[in-house]
Amino acid sequence: MAKPEGTSEAKSANRTEKKKGPRHDHGSRDSHSHSHSHKDSEGQRNHSHSHASGGHSHAPIVEDTSSLRLWLGIIINVLFAGAELAAGFWTDSLALLADAGHNFSDVMGLVLALIAVHLGKQAASERFTYGKGRASIQISLLNSVVLLAAAGAIAVEALQRLQEPADVPGMTIVYIAALGVLVNGISTALYWQDRKEDLNMRGAFLHMAADALVSLSVVVGGLAMQWTGAYWIDPALSILVAGVIVWSTVQLLWNALKLSLDAVPESIDPGEVRNYLQGLEGVMDVHDLHIWAMSTRKSALSVHLVVDSLERSPALLKEIKARVKSEFGIAHPTVQIEQNDEDCPQC
Ligand SMILES: [Zn+2]
Ligand SMILES: [Zn+2]
């Protein structure tokens, strides 16, 4: 019977700890869950202000402007990709068609990122207890797979065209690609401040930067075709486009795969977390340590701690909650306190 006792002790300790925090009187379930998550993100003081809505996020200002920038990116890219597609058909340039297809897939990626930001803002419900933030990880996966398929299609078409290069007007390609340098340059600037924020935004930033370089090389290639009449440059450029898509996608895919397998997020060193927990006063053993991503922005931790005395529970829980947030950026720790190894026979 040792285990249930230990567990309920830890739970009641947790309840005691919560009561020490500022008191709120909330009528509805909704506003209660809001104040709780707010407390997670900002610590336990400064709670005299009131909250207008239930949709809390850990960095509301950043998320709001990042979705605004995503919208801007979508509009600019749709306009440009449309122009590029028309010019591609008109000139029969595979380089332009490939880049137009690629820009349309960029738009789809931005739309998916926007959906991820939106879903990440939705509060947890009784059924979706984590909220829907994890959709951002699945969206990264889906986006990567679609991009790799598009790259494959472009490469196949380019290899066929290399055998019989089509006669394409170099200067038209130069003008359109120069516009592409401008559009992608603006988009890159839009995502500059988000590049370290989040997996999807980082993906968007890297992508736009690579695209600006691709457009620049198409400008150079178009000039070369105009001067030399070497039309094989056109399919060769589209292979470059395909290569850039693969390059920018592989790392995104790899990170998304790791997160989807509940790997510890890159920004957190699990050894450091374990050392920190083991070093706490009164902690005899640390086991069942799990750290995982709840979304591309939020992380959670669960752990069992064997302590020398259950009296320590309230102080330990308070200390751990504050430190894992401030030091490791883990917003949702869950700690099971145990008196001795018999509390937890399966561990
Ligand atoms: Zn792109
Ligand atoms: Zn245990």
Is residue 78 one of the residues assigned to a domain? yes
Residue 73 alpha carbon to ligand 1 centre in Å: 11
* One domain, residues 284 and 256: no
* One domain, residues 200 and 111: yes
Is residue 51 one of the residues assigned to a domain? no
Q: Any idea what DSSP says for residue 193? A: G
Residue 341 alpha carbon to ligand 1 centre in Å: 54
* One domain, residues 146 and 203: yes
Residue 93 alpha carbon to ligand 1 centre in Å: 18
Q: How far is CA 106 from CA 43, 218, 248, in A?
A: 38, 18, 11
Strands 283-293, 299-307: pairing is antiparallel
Per-residue model confidence (pLDDT) at position 300: 93
Structural domain total, the chain: 2
Interface ipTM: 0.73
Which tokens hold the place of 35? 């104040």
Residue 77 alpha carbon to ligand 1 centre in Å: 9
Is-contact 291 323, C-beta < 8 A? Answer: no
* One domain, residues 240 and 286: no
* One domain, residues 136 and 240: yes
Q: Give the number of the ligand closest to the Cα of residue 105.
A: 1
CA distance 301 to 291: 4
Residue 7 alpha carbon to ligand 2 centre in Å: 10
Is residue 283 one of the residues assigned to a domain? yes
* One domain, residues 88 and 196: yes
Among residues 100, 105, 102, the alpha carbon closest in space to that of 82 is found at: 100
Which tokens hold the place of 145? 């797979």
**pLDDT of residue 286 exceeding 90:** yes
CA distance 166 to 133: 47
- Tell me what the pLDDT averaged over the chain comes to: 76
Is residue 48 one of the residues assigned to a domain? no
Is residue 26 one of the residues assigned to a domain? no
* One domain, residues 72 and 179: yes
User: 3-state DSSP call for residue 232?
Assistant: coil
Per-residue pLDDT tens digits for 153-204: 888 888 888 888 778 888 888 998 899 888 888 877 877 766 666 666 676 6
| Number of other residues whose CB lies within 10 A of the CB of residue 272 | 11
Query: Alpha helices of the chain — where are they, by DSSP H?
Result: 2-20, 29-42, 60-91, 94-121, 135-163, 170-191, 199-228, 233-260, 270-278, 313-328
User: Higher model confidence: residue 207 or residue 266?
Assistant: 266
Is residue 173 one of the residues assigned to a domain? yes
* One domain, residues 241 and 300: no
* One domain, residues 216 and 254: yes
Among residues 295, 290, 299, 293, the alpha carbon closest in space to that of 336 is found at: 290
Query: Which residue, of 243, 260, 277, is where some domain finishes?
Result: 260
Q: Give the number of the ligand closest to the Cα of residue 188.
A: 1
**Quick one: what percent of the chain has pLDDT higher than 70?**
76
Q: How far is CA 91 from CA 62, 161, 171, 229, 304, in A?
A: 42, 14, 10, 15, 66
Q: Give the number of the ligand closest to the Cα of residue 345.
A: 2
Residue 114 alpha carbon to ligand 1 centre in Å: 16
Amino acid identity of 180? G
The neighbouring-strand residues paired with 330 are 299
CA distance 340 to 122: 40
Q: Give the number of the ligand closest to the Cα of residue 347.
A: 2
Which tokens hold the place of 105? 């897939």
Q: Give the number of the ligand closest to the Cα of residue 183.
A: 1
Is residue 244 one of the residues assigned to a domain? yes
Query: Which residue, of 245, 260, 275, is where some domain finishes?
Result: 260
* One domain, residues 154 and 249: yes
CA distance 49 to 241: 52
Q: Give the number of the ligand closest to the Cα of residue 344.
A: 2
Is residue 319 one of the residues assigned to a domain? yes
* One domain, residues 251 and 272: no
User: Which CATH number does the domain housing residue 278 bear?
Assistant: 3.30.70.1350
Is-contact 165 224, C-beta < 8 A? Answer: no
Per-residue model confidence (pLDDT) at position 169: 83
Q: Give the number of the ligand closest to the Cα of residue 3.
A: 2
CA distance 280 to 322: 13
User: Which CATH number does the domain housing residue 68 bear?
Assistant: 1.20.1510.10
Among residues 226, 241, 231, the alpha carbon closest in space to that of 92 is found at: 231
Residue 156 alpha carbon to ligand 1 centre in Å: 19
Amino acid identity of 157? E
**pLDDT of residue 310 exceeding 80:** yes
Query: Which residue, of 260, 276, 308, is where some domain finishes?
Result: 260
**Vertex 300 angle, CA 297 and 302, to 5°:** 170
Per-residue pLDDT tens digits for 235-273: 888 898 888 878 878 877 888 888 889 999 888 999 999
Residue 287 alpha carbon to ligand 2 centre in Å: 6
Which tokens hold the place of 190? 């839009």
* One domain, residues 204 and 269: no
Question: Which residue range is the domain that position 329 belongs to?
Answer: 263-347
